[in-house]
């Protein structure tokens, strides 16, 4: 392929993330894809913010694997096959010690929504030849990246005019709650009560290997709690700065904490942000009908609520599960391209 794009490994030191409570770096490295003709003329390009799933960050989009394209190979092909227009694709790093920020502001992790909206978008517009307009700026991603896309576009339609979510986290009682009882059983290997959670954080949140089988289930719940139910005041007594939405011994749902989570549930945010959602040029949601986290159900419910509010959207389902569905980016980029 003679005519290919370029990956720039960009570095940016954030003021907003400086001194964040988890001690995560404020300076992050992340890839920016510049399309083949970038810099060869004076043309400006639309910008797509492709955000990663839980435990992921932009640079992982460059990972290689057998018979599966990484993001550069994929974008080069889609552009060369004229399936999408040339665009700049920005792949931020919003990971945290607890696996991810869900791209929102949280006292417990840092203000990642502000980081994207107030720092990264302007930085990209300053440094690269973007078309600086919400109508030419998209946000997309899968899993937690789909969640972030829905929520950030919903709250910032003046920044992101197009939004695509593949298997985005939503309908929390179906996608998160089934993990709660397993958390109770798993965390008991680390001790009792708050101490068990503190021990898990100390013992497992590092590069030591191997990780136990329960690792992903536990970190997922901790990650979400750090985003949805931060508790800085309780941090001293508990040893961690968030509230879990259940009793740590019996597992009984803590309705008050879970209601704080539900305020962040996209299917419950549609009403509040209906006006914003109407402004969007593109709303696209898809999910696999075998999604292990039931996110196809979440997408159906979300779209049903859009329909009730007479908001336009595109909704698709595909015959697959939650993992290894990067090939759905083809559809995302084509739809963004068509809608621009």
- Rg over CA atoms, the chain: 20
CA neighbor of 35 nearest in space, from 23, 43, 25, 27: 43
Footprint (CB under 8 A) of a copy of itself, residues 138-177? 171, 173-174, 177
Structure tokens at 67: 């018979």
Q: Cβ 185 to a copy of itself, closest distance in Å?
A: 6
Footprint (CB under 8 A) of a copy of itself, residues 210-249? 210-211, 247, 249
Sketch the per residue contact string, 56 through 95, with a copy of itself: x for CB under 8 A, - otherwise: xx-xx--xxxxxxx---x---x-----------------x
Q: Which is nearer to a copy of itself, 182 or 279 (by Cβ)?
A: 182
Structure tokens at 262: 């539900």
What is the rounded distance in angstroms from the CA atom of residue 168 to the CA atom of residue 147? Answer: 4
The answer to whether residue 192 forms part of the interface with a copy of itself (CB under 8 A) is no
Q: Which is nearer to a copy of itself, 161 or 266 (by Cβ)?
A: 266
Work out which of 88, 120, 269, 301 binds a copy of itself, going by CB under 8 A. Answer: 301
The answer to whether residue 325 forms part of the interface with a copy of itself (CB under 8 A) is yes
User: What does the H/E/C string look like for 288-303?
Assistant: ECCCCCCHHHHHHHHH
Three-state DSSP at 316 gives strand
Q: Cβ 314 to a copy of itself, closest distance in Å?
A: 17
Structure tokens at 301: 């419910």
CA 74 to the chain's CA centroid:
20
The answer to whether residue 316 forms part of the interface with a copy of itself (CB under 8 A) is no
For residue 232, which phi and psi values (nearest 5 degrees)?
-75, -35
Three-state DSSP at 66 gives coil
Residue ranges binding a copy of itself (CB under 8 A) = 55-57, 59-60, 63-69, 73, 77, 95, 99, 171, 173-174, 177-178, 180-182, 184-185, 205-207, 209-211, 247, 249-253, 267, 289-290, 294, 296-297, 300-301, 304, 320, 324-327
């Amino acid at each position: 392929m003679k005519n290919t794009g370029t990956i720039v490994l960009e570095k940016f030191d954030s003021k907003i993330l400086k001194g964040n409570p988890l001690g995560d770096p404020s300076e992050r490295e992340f890839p920016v894809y510049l399309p083949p003709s970038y810099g060869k003329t004076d043309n400006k390009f639309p910008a797509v913010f492709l955000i990663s799933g839980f435990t992921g960050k932009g640079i992982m989009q460059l990972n290689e694997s057998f018979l599966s394209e990484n993001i550069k190979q994929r974008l080069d092909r889609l552009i060369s096959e004229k399936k999408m227009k040339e665009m700049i694709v920005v792949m931020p790093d919003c990971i945290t010690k607890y696996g991810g920020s869900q791209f929102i502001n949280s006292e417990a992790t840092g203000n990642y929504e502000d980081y994207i909206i107030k720092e990264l978008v302007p930085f990209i517009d300053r440094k690269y030849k973007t078309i600086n307009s919400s109508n030419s700026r998209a946000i997309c991603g899968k899993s937690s990246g789909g969640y972030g896309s829905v929520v950030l576009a919903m709250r910032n339609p003046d920044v992101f005019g197009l939004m695509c979510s593949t298997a985005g986290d939503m309908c929390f009682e179906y996608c998160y709650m089934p993990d709660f009882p397993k958390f109770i059983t798993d965390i008991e290997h680390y001790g009792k009560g708050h101490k068990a959670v503190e021990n898990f954080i100390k013992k497992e949140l590092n590069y030591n290997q191997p990780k136990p089988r329960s690792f992903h289930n536990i970190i997922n719940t901790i990650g979400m709690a750090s985003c949805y139910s931060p508790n800085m005041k309780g941090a001293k007594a508990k040893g961690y700065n968030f509230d879990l939405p259940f009793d740590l011994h019996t597992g009984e749902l803590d309705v008050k904490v879970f209601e704080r989570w539900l305020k962040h549930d996209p299917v419950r945010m549609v009403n509040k942000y209906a006006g914003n959602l109407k402004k969007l040029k593109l709303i696209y949601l898809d999910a696999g009908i075998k999604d292990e986290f039931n996110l196809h159900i979440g997408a159906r419910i979300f779209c049903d609520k859009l329909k009730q509010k007479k908001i336009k959207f595109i909704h698709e389902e595909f015959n697959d599960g939650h993992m290894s569905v990067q090939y759905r980016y083809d559809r995302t980029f084509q739809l963004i391209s068509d809608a621009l």
